[in-house]
């Protein structure tokens, strides 16, 4: 094929015929005439080979020119498609909103809750390396640069450069800052001169812009002295989190840096901070949110969490993760938190069963406005810890506003569950973690006086080691509570959750129940959901998803 006129080439005899075909595949010695004929044929073949090489070179040169032309045409097309692309018509303000919702940074092993915004592959720096247009928008969007995570180690010049860049690009917006001690090396720790850290000093100078501050520092004077200038300069601080890398706070160490933070409303502490909170100077009256979480070494004691709550009479939300106390418990003073609406308690039982459980706290607490309670007892022991049933039931009587209840405690018997559900008569949303789900549901279905008459949603989690039995009371619950009866509220949503794989018997039972599921939920317009690791549903049940009434 000619590359110029696209006509087929007429030269097809590039390879001459062999003058000696009869001796090519033999050891016969050619005659002088045959030798002469072979030389003449080789001369013709070599001439043709040279001509073919020339043709190939011309074709390759032409192909190269075509490739270059194509690349230029492709670049032209790409550039002009960008001109008419819909995204080009987006105003910079909309691009800025999109960028703000992008990844804030890399999730590190150390303090994973605080993203590493300096990471060039996942933070705002990534947006500045896509194109010049994105770079201009990213740099001119102050909200992208308001989060700073500073890991304190030997100071390096680029640390200060990065911090200064973030401060300048964030303009005057409030800052979310994090100060994290790098994992210490025994050969130099604690000889780091924190006060000579330029990046740290730059952030301290901007403390009047802090709105969210996270600290993971050792509980020693040398690590907090650099922060002395912030004491009277925290006019915007709203959220404060104090964590210790290791060790405990000395009682004699006065923590008064945050005493004058008039807008502070949220406080998060680890086990070490919770144990000494009563010795600190904080604006306790303005705090409405408290979280006590697990520290690097252990959880806080139950007693220290209780007394930390007492310091904050205006609490509205409280999340506590604590352990059982093995010392002799003092009598806890009666405490009323009249504004607390949400309380979450996770109690770790990992060494020995506590001689005294949650009872003393529930006996002392009065929460008249409590609307949501979550209680989880994490037990890794071979024996079940004691459950202080009577104090908890009395606590429920003093909580008339309770609407959402979550209980995860293997020590609560089915009979005790009935008492709890009877006292929590105003609960609308119930979540129960139990290894005997059928017993719990049976109490709700068969009670002579309806339990939980206002119930709208229920979630039952089967915590059995090997779930093997389908709760027979589940379908009656859906049928009875899915319709209005005796003036009771109508059940709207029911969830049966299996966190572990079910055995074959239960798997087959759930398979056979497909038609029954669809029939019940279609009659009562329920939202029904089974959550478990096995894929047990056939196409017939999945078709019900289109109606919006079945969720699998």
Tens of pLDDT, residue by residue over 64-112, are: 999 999 999 999 998 888 888 887 788 889 999 999 998 888 888 777 7
Q: What is the mean pLDDT of residues 22-47?
A: 87
Q: Is there a contact between 286 and 309 (Cβ–Cβ < 8 Å)?
A: no
Residue 528's closest CA among 485, 487, 483, 474?
474
| Token representation of residue 490 | 């109508």
Omega cis (within 30) before 190 = yes
Q: What is the mean pLDDT of residues 37-63?
A: 90
Q: Does 423 have pLDDT greater than 70?
A: yes
Cβ neighbours for 294, distance < 8 A, ≥ 6 positions apart: 270, 271, 321
pLDDT averaged over the chain? 81
Least confident of 17-26, 103-112, 135-144, 516-525: 516-525
All domains in the chain, ordered by first residue: 90-264 (no CATH), 271-277+290-397 (no CATH), 413-552 (3.80.10)
Q: How far is Cα 337 from Cα 290, in angstroms, rounded to an integer?
A: 13
Q: How far is Cα 532 from Cα 466, in angstroms, rounded to an integer?
A: 12
Q: What is the mean pLDDT of residues 284-292?
A: 95
**Three-state secondary structure call for residue 269:** strand
Residue 363's closest CA among 402, 328, 336, 326?
336
Q: Does 519 have pLDDT greater than 70?
A: no
**Three-state secondary structure call for residue 239:** strand
Least confident of 230-239, 521-530, 543-552: 543-552
**Three-state secondary structure call for residue 426:** coil
Q: Which residue has the higher pLDDT, 94 or 245?
A: 94
Q: How far is Cα 373 from Cα 378, in angstroms, rounded to an integer?
A: 16
- pLDDT tens-place string over residues 384-417: 667 788 999 999 999 999 999 999 887 788 788 8
Of the pLDDT bands very low, low, confident and very high (cuts 50, 70, 90), residue 542 is: very low
Q: Which residue has the higher pLDDT, 474 or 169?
A: 169
Q: DSSP per residue over 48-108, as a string?
A: HHHHHHHHHHHHHHHHHHHHHHHHHHHHHHHHHHHHH-GGGGS-HHHHHHHHHTS---B--
DSSP state of 43: H
Q: Which residue has the higher pLDDT, 537 or 19?
A: 19
Q: Does 238 have pLDDT greater than 90?
A: yes
Task: Count how many residues are written for the chain.
Answer: 552
Q: Does 186 have pLDDT greater than 60?
A: no
Q: How far is Cα 478 from Cα 457, in angstroms, rounded to an integer?
A: 11
Q: How far is Cα 410 from Cα 435, in angstroms, rounded to an integer?
A: 7
Q: Is there a contact between 224 and 217 (Cβ–Cβ < 8 Å)?
A: yes
**Three-state secondary structure call for residue 177:** strand
Q: Does 137 have pLDDT greater than 80?
A: yes
Beta bridge partners of 243: 216
Q: How far is Cα 65 from Cα 137, in angstroms, rounded to an integer?
A: 39
| Token representation of residue 162 | 């990065």
Q: How far is Cα 165 from Cα 170, in angstroms, rounded to an integer?
A: 8
pTM flag (> 0.95)? no
């Amino acid at each position: 094929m000619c590359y110029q006129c696209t006509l087929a080439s007429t030269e097809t005899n590039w390879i001459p015929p062999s003058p000696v075909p009869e001796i090519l595949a033999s050891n016969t010695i050619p005659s002088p005439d045959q030798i002469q004929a072979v030389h003449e044929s080789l001369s013709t073949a070599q001439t043709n080979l040279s001509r073919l090489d020339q043709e190939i070179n011309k074709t390759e040169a032409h192909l190269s020119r075509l490739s270059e032309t194509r690349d230029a045409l492709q670049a032209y097309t790409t550039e002009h498609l960008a001109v008419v692309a819909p995204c080009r018509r987006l105003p910079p303000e909309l691009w800025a909103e999109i960028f703000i919702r992008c990844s804030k940074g890399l999730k590190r092993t150390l303090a994973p809750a605080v993203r590493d915004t300096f990471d060039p592959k996942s933070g705002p720096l990534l947006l500045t390396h896509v194109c010049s247009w994105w770079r201009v928008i990213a740099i001119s969007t102050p909200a992208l640069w308001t989060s700073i995570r500073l890991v304190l180690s030997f100071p390096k010049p680029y640390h200060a450069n990065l911090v200064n860049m973030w401060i300048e690009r964030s303009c005057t917006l409030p800052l979310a800052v994090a100060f994290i001690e790098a994992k210490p090396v025994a050969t130099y720790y604690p000889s780091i001169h924190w006060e000579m850290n330029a990046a740290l000093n730059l952030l301290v100078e901007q403390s009047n812009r802090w709105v969210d501050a996270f600290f993971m520092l050792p509980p020693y004077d040398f690590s907090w002295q650099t922060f002395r200038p912030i004491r009277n300069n925290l006019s915007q601080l709203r959220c404060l989190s104090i964590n210790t890398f290791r060790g405990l706070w000395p009682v004699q160490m006065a923590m008064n840096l945050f005493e004058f933070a008039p807008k502070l409303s949220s406080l998060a502490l680890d086990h070490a901070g919770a144990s000494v909170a009563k010795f600190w100077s904080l604006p306790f009256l303005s705090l409405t949110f408290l979280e006590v979480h697990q520290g690097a070494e252990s959880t806080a004691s139950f007693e220290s969490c209780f007394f930390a709550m007492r310091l904050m009479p205006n609490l509205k939300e409280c999340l506590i993760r604590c352990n059982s106390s093995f010392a002799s418990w003092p009598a806890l003073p009666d405490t009323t938190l009249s504004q607390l609406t949400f309380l979450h308690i996770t109690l770790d039982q990992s060494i020995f069963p506590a001689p005294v459980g949650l009872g003393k706290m529930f006996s002392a607490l009065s929460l008249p406005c409590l609307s949501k309670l979550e209680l989880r007892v994490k037990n890794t022991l071979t024996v079940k810890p004691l459950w202080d049933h009577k104090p908890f039931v009395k606590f429920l009587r003093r909580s008339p506003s309770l609407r959402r209840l979550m209980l995860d405690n293997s020590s609560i018997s089915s009979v005790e569950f009935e008492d709890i559900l009877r006292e929590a008569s105003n609960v609308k949303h119930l979540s129960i973690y139990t290894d005997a789900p059928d017993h719990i549901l049976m109490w709700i279905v068969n009670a002579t006086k309806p339990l939980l008459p206002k119930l709208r949603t229920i979630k039952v989690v089967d915590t059995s080691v090997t779930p093997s039995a389908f709760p027979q009371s589940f379908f009656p619950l859906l049928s009875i509570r899915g319709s209005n009866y005796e003036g009771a509220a109508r059940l709207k949503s029911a969830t049966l959750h299996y966190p572990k794989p079910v055995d074959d018997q239960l798997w087959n039972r759930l398979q056979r129940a497909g038609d029954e599921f669809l029939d019940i939920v279609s009659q009562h317009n329920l939202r029904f959901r089974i959550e478990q690791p096995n894929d047990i549903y056939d196409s017939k049940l999945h078709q019900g998803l289109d109606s919006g009434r079945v969720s699998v």
